[in-house]
Amino acid sequence: MPEIVFETPTLNRYQRLRRTVGAAITDGLFAALTQSTRYLPIAHPRLHGVEVLRDVPYREHDHRAHRADLWLPKAKSQALRPVVLYIHGGRFAKLSKETHWVFNLLFARRGYLVMSINYRLAPRHRYPAAIEDVCEAWRWLHQNAARYGGDPEQMIVAGESAGGNLATALTVATCYRRPEPFARRVFDETPVPRAVMPACGILQVSNPERFKVKLGYLQDRLHEVAEDYLSGVRFDAERGLDLADPLVALERGEQPDRPLPPFFAPCGTWDVLIDDHRRLAAALGRLGVRCDARYYPRGFHAFHGFIFTPTARRCWRDAFAFLTETVPPRR
């Protein structure tokens, strides 16, 4: 099949300066907030009965991006624990497993074994580097979960923003037989996730124009995702960018080779990405797949990370109720 090169519009000097400044402010504020709160006494994992093994390599390459933190509940359990692969957001280009400590802690204190990963970041490493790393992390987790008290047959994938995209793309790779070698390996060697939790995910990267936003700041953030992740990428004309646009892959309505798992997809009503979640719920519904798409009033992007707010706490109660129903602990 012929290949197509993904191209983004050329920016003038003013547009590029505006985009650079806006990204620096956004990334700087979020990184400063998450990094500073890590050192609050309440954030210490041991206060919550959790132990963290840091920088465990999940690929053979000696690369900082290929390391994970394992968050292990210390309470004794008679059975193997359900396992969560957590994938951080940051528009595929920023942030890390360290900045997203609060999500890992919330899962671990509820008794889940959590593997929180770094992955190669754009624009230095464009698509499909990130999803390839996620697929390799899924394989590693399936092979090694039992060593740490996790159940390799009760694996959940979760992430927010870009991480929600990657969680959904991983699920597509485990359910549809695909040509990419890394996708074929997870299809052949690993189970389908028992549940998928893409929060406020950007589920179609290649078409930022679909969002009708008036603020130049928001337009810049959406366009820079596509530029950083996809600019110059060659892709198959027939299959498109399925693992960058997993929503489009699901909207084609093809029956999967293995059954798709249930989804919990929360999003705030003030988040421009809410339409992706509505489309996801509709696409999965047409395939006969459960999708609990929850829309939280006045919730902004990644609102559920601000756990001191009532809206975030309600979202997490809903999330854990969904997991209790769909991935009940083994006796």
CATH classification of the domain holding 250: 3.40.50.1820
pLDDT score of 209:
85
Examine residue 217 and state whether it is found in any structural domain, yes or no: yes
Q: How many CB atoms lie within 10 A of CB 107?
A: 26
Average pLDDT over residues 204-210: 91
Residue 93 domain boundaries? 3-326
Nearest to 284 by CA among 320, 318, 252: 252
Nearest to 202 by CA among 240, 160, 242: 160
pLDDT score of 44:
82
Nearest to 87 by CA among 128, 120, 42, 40: 120
- For residues 25 and 325, which has the higher predicted lDDT (pLDDT)? 325
Question: Residue 197 forms beta bridges with which residues?
Answer: 158
pLDDT score of 10:
61
pLDDT score of 41:
54
State the total domains in the chain: 1
Tokens of residue 153, six digits:
């047959």
Is the distance from CB of 92 to CB of 228 less than 8 angstroms? yes
User: Whats the size of the chain, residue-wise?
Assistant: 331
Examine residue 331 and state whether it is found in any structural domain, yes or no: no
Residue 215 pLDDT more than 70?
A: no
Examine residue 205 and state whether it is found in any structural domain, yes or no: yes
Examine residue 85 and state whether it is found in any structural domain, yes or no: yes
Q: How many CB atoms lie within 10 A of CB 46?
A: 9
Summarize pLDDT for 4-16 with one digit per residue, the tens: 777 665 656 655 6
Examine residue 97 and state whether it is found in any structural domain, yes or no: yes
List the end-to-end C-alpha distance of the chain, in Å, as a whole number.
50
Summarize pLDDT for 111-125 with one digit per residue, the tens: 999 999 999 999 999
Single pTM value for the model:
0.92
CA–CA distance, 24 with 232 (Å, rounded to integer):
23
Q: Give the least confident one: 19-28, 74-83, 154-163, 276-285.
A: 19-28
pLDDT band, residue 40 (cuts 50/70/90): low
Which of 26-30, 74-78, 215-219, 226-230 reaches the highest mean pLDDT? 226-230
- Pairing of the two strands 150-160 and 195-199: parallel
Q: Give the least confident one: 27-41, 162-176, 181-195, 253-267.
A: 27-41
Question: Residue 81 forms beta bridges with which residues?
Answer: 150
Is the distance from CB of 196 to CB of 262 less than 8 angstroms? yes
Examine residue 305 and state whether it is found in any structural domain, yes or no: yes
In the chain, DSSP assigns E strands to 3-5, 50-57, 67-73, 81-87, 113-117, 150-160, 195-199, 234-236, 263-268, 291-296
Examine residue 278 and state whether it is found in any structural domain, yes or no: yes
Summarize pLDDT for 233-280 with one digit per residue, the tens: 987 766 679 999 999 999 999 999 999 999 999 999 999 999 999 999
Examine residue 284 and state whether it is found in any structural domain, yes or no: yes
CA–CA distance, 134 with 119 (Å, rounded to integer):
7
**Residue 180 DSSP code:** S
Peptide bond preceding 128 in cis form (omega within 30 of 0): yes
- For residues 182 and 17, which has the higher predicted lDDT (pLDDT)? 182
Task: Output phi, psi for 50, to 5 deg.
Answer: -130, 140
pLDDT band, residue 26 (cuts 50/70/90): low
